[in-house]
Amino acid sequence: MKMPVELLPGGFDFPIWPELDESITREEVQDAISSETWLETPFDTCPTIHLDENGVFQALGAGNLTNRQRHVSRIAYLVVHGWEDAICINAQPGHWPVLDGNHRLTAAHFRGDETIEAEFDGFEADIVELFGPKIAAEAVAEWDDQ
């Protein structure tokens, strides 16, 4: 379903990745785009990234990246090249809603996208509480179609 981007906070609003103390800035992403410093492959499926003995991520083609730089580089890649897969939202009050797709969501915020493709998990009542009855109805209709 198409989820309004404005209803979901992204990486510019909060330090959503636990290893970051501060939010990523638009300037950091723009600098990575300008310098073509980006990370093509998601972290959890990329065999070319590893943590060295100094706690620095190593990535082929991207040089030595700090945790912050790898997040910025991933967002920059997505801003330039886009993506096809939906983000996954778990509507659970009091918890961060995006289970998978925080880099894609932050890229959508950067690009000014109005919507992002999303799949919901959770309970209808929680979706209503967090996102309203219209979004909940669309999520339930999508569940019924599957």
Which pTM value belongs to this model? 0.83
pLDDT band of residue 39 (cuts 50, 70, 90) is confident
pLDDT at 68: 87
Query: Where exactly are the structural domains of the chain?
Result: 2-145
- Flag whether pLDDT at 33 surpasses 80: yes
* Angstrom distance (rounded) from CA 62 to CA 89: 30
Residue 30 dihedral angles phi and psi, to the nearest 5°: -60, -40
* Lowest mean per-residue pLDDT among 49-63, 84-98, 131-145: 49-63
Residue type, 146: Q
The Cα-based distances of 63 to 6, 69, 76, 102, 117 in angstroms read 34, 10, 15, 23, 32
The Cα-based distances of 11 to 22, 98, 108, 109 in angstroms read 9, 11, 10, 9
